[in-house]
Amino acid sequence: MTQIKSIWKGFGLCLAISIPCWFLGNLFPIVGGPVFGILAGMLITLFLKDKSRLQDGITFTSKKILQYAVVLLGFGMNLSVILETGKQSLPIILGTISTSLIIAFVLHKALRIPGKISTLVGIGSSICGGSAIAATAPVIDANDEEVAQSISVIFFFNMLAALLFPTLGTFLGFSTTSGEAFGIFAGTAVNDTSSVTAAASTWDSLYGLGSATLDKAVTVKLTRTLAIIPITLVLAFVRAHKSKSTGNQVKLSSVFPMFILYFVIASVITTITSSLGVPVEFFSPLKSLSKFFITLAMSAVGLNTNIVKLVKTGSKPLVLGFCCWIGITTVTLSLQHILEIW
């Protein structure tokens, strides 16, 4: 009861911000609710002189609600279907993730970009945007400003990809009678689900393919999302090992991402129930709630973010995001060509 009293005001403010942002995200999916939430939170916090009574609730929303969102994301994962239809794209997915992480590490050293921002941008670019950042941030103990900066970078290149990739696909000569080539391209080179959907749907509309491209792209995208599991587990082990070597020991149990375990359990539940004949649509409300929770958490992240500082320190992460974006796109196209997908 005491905890509820301490968090309800801050949580209520985050909820009030996130509801209109959620609807705006549905109206403008290329931007998405989480980005509207961050922007609204950053603007509103400029007018809040004293956040002390709100801070507990804001912190709870930005940390715990973000983890709940990742758990609920698991209810959209039918593992058997994803692994069966997504295995064709697996070499490309592994290539793009490796490329993005290597670029992030190299530029972290070369440009002296903060390690946590480099990690979040590298993982967000290569796996699934905001969802990957939501899963990774608690494991590496990233603060809200680092999360906001990473989400902002990811959003910018996400939007560019959704707008430019259909034209690029036409220029490169992707098949216009099948959605396979562009579907794999969109599913591996665009990171956020809303932007993957936007790019694939545009291709379907341009060439009258129904939903063939969209179905392929979303399946590939969901296959990428599974990479959240090994990535977060590895990061947890690395953090525990580093703390031991510096003498400031952190137990693995304290940084182990339990919410990822619950994410896996949710995925297994979906897989088993689907095999027993339960329609996929049964879990749609939980998937929608997951997306809303991300918007809710990002509103809290915005409230904890200094927009002036974000603008002043944003150039290097933007360069990192650009390099990851170009690297991922190049590797995707190269491997698709080698595998004779286009």
- Listed residue (300, 254, 35, 13) closest to 153, CA to CA: 35
From its phi and psi, is residue 208 left (phi > 0), alpha (psi between -120 and 50) or beta?
A: left
In a domain, 220, yes or no: yes
User: CB atoms < 10 A from the CB of 280, how many?
Assistant: 14
pLDDT at 197: 83
pTM beyond 0.75: the answer is yes
pLDDT at 44: 94
Tally of structural domains, the chain: 1
- Listed residue (162, 225, 147) closest to 28, CA to CA: 162
In a domain, 67, yes or no: no
Q: Over the chain, what HEC string results? A: CHHHHHHHHHHHHHHHHHHHHHHHHHHCCCCCHHHHHHHHHHHHHCCCCCCCCCHHHHHHHHHHHHHHHHHHHHHHCCHHHHHHHHHHHHHHHHHHHHHHHHHHHHHHHHCCCCHHHHHHHHHHHHCCCHHHHHHHHHHHCCCHHHHHHHHHHHHHHHHHHHHHHHHHHHHHCCCCCCCHHHHHHHHHHCCCHHHHHHHHHHHHHHHCCCCHHHHHHHHHHHHHHCCHHHHHHHHHHHHHHHHHHHCCCCCHHHHCCHHHHHHHHHHHHHHHHHHCCCCHHHHHHHHHHHHHHHHHHHHHHHHCCCHHHHHHCCHHHHHHHHHHHHHHHHHHHHHHHHCCCC
pLDDT at 29: 78
In a domain, 139, yes or no: yes
79 near 206, Cβ under 8 Å?
no
Residue count (the chain): 342
Domain, as residue range, for 240:
77-286+306-338
Give tens-digit pLDDT for 286-299: 988 988 998 999 89
In a domain, 14, yes or no: no
Residue carrying structure tokens 């909820």: 15
Say how far apart CA 182 and CA 154 lie, in whole Å: 21
In a domain, 24, yes or no: no
Give tens-digit pLDDT for 268-284: 999 999 999 998 789 88
Residues of the chain with confidence (pLDDT) below 70: 1-3, 85, 244-255
In a domain, 200, yes or no: yes
In a domain, 56, yes or no: no
pLDDT at 306: 77
pLDDT at 4: 75
In a domain, 4, yes or no: no
What amino acid is encoded at 310 in this protein?
L
